[in-house]
Each structure stands twice: as C-alpha cells, then as structure tokens.
C-alpha cells in the first residue's frame, strides 16, 4: 500500500507556498478535508491555489507580508492544525479576520496559541474559554518574542515560528520536549534562516523574520500516522505481509514503530532516503509475531501523539499489560481520546484502566471478543482504529460514524478492504 500524503506536511506546504514568491508545485498532497480547508484559507488570503489534472498542486504565493484581508469567515472544519498555524500567520498580518470550525474544533483550546501570539501584539476576541469562533486582530508592527512553550505541541511551536516570519528581528521558541519538526525543515527548504540551540530550558529554535521565501517543489511523503492503521492490522493478523511504500520516517514521528517493535512486531524499513529534507522509507510488516505488553514512557508521547488509539488496538491483542504514560494531551484532540479509547475497548470486551494521564490495557493475548459499538465523537482516528480492531475480533466491531475519516484518510475503507479487511455499512 501507499498511504495518503502526510497531513502535517501538506498543511505546511500550502501555507509556505502561499507566502513564497513564484510557483510552488506540490505532489502527493493529502487531499483530505482538513488540508482542503487550509487550501481554501490560503485562497481567501490572496494566494492562488490550483490542482491540475495530473494531481499536482500549484500555488502562486504573495510573499511574506503579502496576505490581504479575507472577504469571509475562515472555516477550518475539523482541523486543529489549520486553526493553530493560521492563527500564527494572521496574528502578524495587519488586518482583522474571523475563524471558525466544526463542533469538535469549537470545543478545542486556542489559549495555547493566543497567549504567545498576544505577545507579538495581536489581539483575539473569542468565545468563553478561548474557543472558536474568534476574531483575530492582526498587528501591523509586531514585536519579536522569546517564548518557552508550556505544552509539548508542534502546533504551538509552528504558530509562533509562522508569526515570527512577518516580524522584523528574531523570534525564538523554546520547547522542553521535542515535537515534530516539519515546520522547521520546510521553512529552511523555502529559504528562511533558522538556528537551533540547546539551552537550560530546552531546545531553542530561532527564526530570522521577514525573509524572502522562494517557491519550491515539494514531494509530500506518505503519512506515518495513516500507515499506522495498515501496520497494526498486519501486526494482529495471523499471516501475510504488508509493504508500505514511501512513508515518512522523520524520527519525531516514529514512536509507534519503536513501540510495536518492543512489543515483538516484525517491522523493518528499507530504501531510506531524504525527500525535501524529510526522511522517507518503505516499511515491511510480517504478520504472525506474538505481541507482548510493554510500558510506553511519557517521553515518547510527542513522537506518537496521534497513534495512541491504534496502539491501544495492538495492546488489546498482546499478551500481558501495556501501560502508556504522559497522555494528558490526548484529552484535547479531535475528541477526548483517552476517554474514547477506554470506552471503545471496554465496549468490546477489553479490560482497561484510565489514570489522570495514563492508560493501562490488559491484552487478551489473541482474538478479542468485539461485538460492541464505538462512539467516535467526530474523531477520524478513533473511527479508523476501532475498524482495525474489528479485524482481530470474534464479533464485528461497529463504529457510529465514519464520515470524518476523510479529514485525514480519503479511501481508507477501500484500501483496508484491499488488504483483506471486511469493512461495510452496518445492517440497520
């Protein structure tokens, strides 16, 4: 299989392409709802974004500082990445804009980006609890900041660095725990100057403001977070082999693969190469290995933050107990994923315990019972994870909704069925 394009990288390609001078051509862009929302936001801000018949995306950018006032509300749907990263771009653009999202996103916290972006001089008018919809009053004369982020979040880091793009001087973001570094890699690819320094407070990343970004060609690697569903399906299957081609293996994203190997899974990668500064490889997963429970350290959480739902499915099939720590951030994803995972596993006969920021899964060491219905709470990864769980269950597993799967993985059902799953509408 070839997984769809990386969601994080796709958002960033559209945003930086929209700020570069000249035509940026992007191949392998994820054409999922979330990314299409970012494409539309870039159009509203003045960039030309088009897809040609061959599937290549062509973006004609406006240059750093060249965005214009959007004529309508920017609706980013289910996409937290669009909302947070765009907030950074809008904060240092000297006009007022309005942003909203779907019911899931309107519940999610924006304070984490508003606090640092206020320091640049931007103002935000929000609903109670700093939630969307909100108005962004961008500043014409931003001041550069140095910000030590209290949350391990690539979205917060990226919002600050992107706000720093249109700010004269040097903006520094310090992170205590390393999060995905796609923004830094791509900013450098487009010609921005960045510096990395280890300080007592953590890794300090500095961007030099108001660079001339130059249009680039970008090849988006497959999304390791989407590949994860086929990989875990192969891990819990009794026989067979799955080859996942052209998937991103940036070390800030591969925590799930490390964990599955520790559990005993037979996963290897080959043809490792560098594409636009990003590591890419082909993965081979051989079924039939006995999985065992492991302890997943909190320090690994940022490198597999979106993979806990599907890891929980692997853990449910393993022999013994799996303990996952450092999961506080899971509560503010597309749903409260900690609660959603626990409820979905319990509904299908798997014993779990939820702590303040941990999850313990008691593996069955073989097939799980299944037969339950899982509430997805508008969360694509909950839906996909539990559909995969059905592949290893005695009774079918039902999810209440799959519409939002298209936000990150269009074609998921057809692709998994092609690998041998039997996913079909439930008889009503």
For ligand S3P, the binding residues (CB under 6 A) are: 8, 81, 153-155, 158, 180, 305-306, 329
How many angstroms separate the CA atoms of 202 and 252, rounded?
Answer: 16
Nearer to ligand S3P by Cβ, of 157 and 246: the residue is 157
Nearer to ligand S3P by Cβ, of 90 and 305: the residue is 305
Return phi, psi of residue 20, to 5°: -90, 155
Instruction: Please name every residue paired with 320 in a beta bridge, in sequence order, or none if there are none.
Output: 363
Concatenate the DSSP letters of all residues of 9-22 into one string.
HHHHHHHHHHHSBS
Query: Tokens representing 362?
Result: 């008691």
CA atoms lying within 13 Å on the CB side of residue 240: 14
Fill in the DSSP letter of residue 40.
H
End-to-end CA separation in angstroms for the chain: 31
Say whether 128 is catalytic: no
How many angstroms separate the CA atoms of 253 and 223, rounded?
Answer: 9
Identify the CA nearest to 247 among candidates 265, 264, 272, 267: 272
Residue with token string 């520790």: 262
Nearer to ligand S3P by Cβ, of 223 and 282: the residue is 223
In the bound complex, what is the minimum distance in angstroms from residue 379's beta carbon to ligand S3P?
11
In the bound complex, what is the minimum distance in angstroms from residue 387's beta carbon to ligand S3P?
19
Concatenate the DSSP letters of all residues of 168-203 into one string.
SSEEEEEESS----HHHHHHHHTT--EEEEEETTEE
In the bound complex, what is the minimum distance in angstroms from residue 15's beta carbon to ligand S3P?
11
User: Do 60 and 39 form a contact (C-beta atoms < 8 A)?
Assistant: no
How many angstroms separate the CA atoms of 418 and 297, rounded?
Answer: 34
In the bound complex, what is the minimum distance in angstroms from residue 230's beta carbon to ligand S3P?
18
Active-site annotation holder among 306, 336, 357, 406 = 306
How many angstroms separate the CA atoms of 202 and 300, rounded?
Answer: 16
Nearer to ligand S3P by Cβ, of 260 and 327: the residue is 327
How many angstroms separate the CA atoms of 392 and 390, rounded?
Answer: 5
Nearer to ligand S3P by Cβ, of 8 and 139: the residue is 8
In the bound complex, what is the minimum distance in angstroms from residue 38's beta carbon to ligand S3P?
10
∠ CA 150-151-155, nearest 5°, is 125
Query: Tokens representing 360?
Result: 């313990």
In the bound complex, what is the minimum distance in angstroms from residue 42's beta carbon to ligand S3P?
16
Return phi, psi of residue 281, to 5°: -155, 175
In the bound complex, what is the minimum distance in angstroms from residue 263's beta carbon to ligand S3P?
22
Catalytic residues: 306
């Amino acid at each position: 299989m070839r997984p769809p394009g990386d969601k994080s990288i796709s958002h960033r390609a559209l945003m930086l392409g929209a700020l570069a001078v000249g035509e940026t051509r992007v191949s392998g862009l994820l054409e999922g709802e979330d990314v299409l929302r970012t494409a539309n936001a870039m159009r509203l801000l003045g960039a030309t974004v088009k897809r040609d018949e061959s599937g290549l995306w062509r973006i004609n950018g406006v240059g750093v500082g060249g965005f214009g006032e959007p004529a309508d509300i920017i609706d980013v749907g289910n996409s937290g990445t669009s909302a947070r990263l765009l907030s950074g771009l809008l904060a240092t653009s000297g006009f007022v804009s309005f942003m909203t999202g779907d019911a899931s996103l309107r519940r999610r916290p924006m304070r984490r980006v508003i606090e640092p972006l206020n320091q640049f001089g931007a103002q935000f008018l929000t609903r109670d609890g700093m939630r969307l919809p909100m108005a962004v009053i961008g500043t014409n004369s931003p001041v550069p900041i140095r910000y030590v982020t209290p949350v391990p979040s690539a979205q917060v880091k990226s919002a600050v660095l992107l706000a720093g793009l249109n700010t004269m001087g040097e903006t520094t973001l310090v992170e205590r725990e390393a999060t995905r570094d796609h923004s830094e890699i791509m900013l450098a690819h487009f010609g921005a100057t960045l510096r990395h320094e280890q300080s007592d407070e953590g890794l300090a990343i500095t961007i030099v403001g108001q660079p001339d970004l130059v249009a680039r060609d970008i090849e988006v690697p497959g999304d390791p977070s989407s590949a994860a569903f086929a990989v875990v399906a192969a891990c819990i299957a009794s026989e067979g082999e799955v080859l996942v081609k052209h998937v991103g293996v940036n070390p800030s994203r591969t925590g799930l693969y490390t964990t599955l190997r520790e559990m005993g899974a037979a996963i290897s990668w080959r043809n490792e190469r560098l594409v636009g500064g990003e590591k890419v490889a082909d993965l081979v997963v051989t079924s039939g290995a006995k999985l065992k429970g492991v302890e997943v350290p909190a320090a690994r959480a940022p490198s597999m933050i979106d993979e806990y739902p599907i890891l929980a499915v692997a853990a449910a099939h393993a022999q013994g107990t799996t303990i996952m720590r450092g999961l506080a951030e899971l509560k503010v994803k597309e749903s409260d994923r900690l609660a959603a995972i626990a409820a979905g596993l319990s509904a299908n006969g798997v014993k779990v315990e939820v702590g303040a920021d941990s999850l313990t899964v008691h593996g069955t060491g073989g097939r799980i019972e299944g037969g339950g219905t899982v509430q997805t709470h508008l969360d694509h990864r909950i839906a996909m994870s539990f559909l995969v769980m059905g592949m290893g269950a005695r009774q079918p597993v039902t999810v209440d909704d799959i519409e939002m799967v298209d936000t990150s993985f269009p074609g998921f059902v057809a692709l998994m069925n092609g690998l041998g799953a039997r996913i079909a509408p439930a008889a009503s």
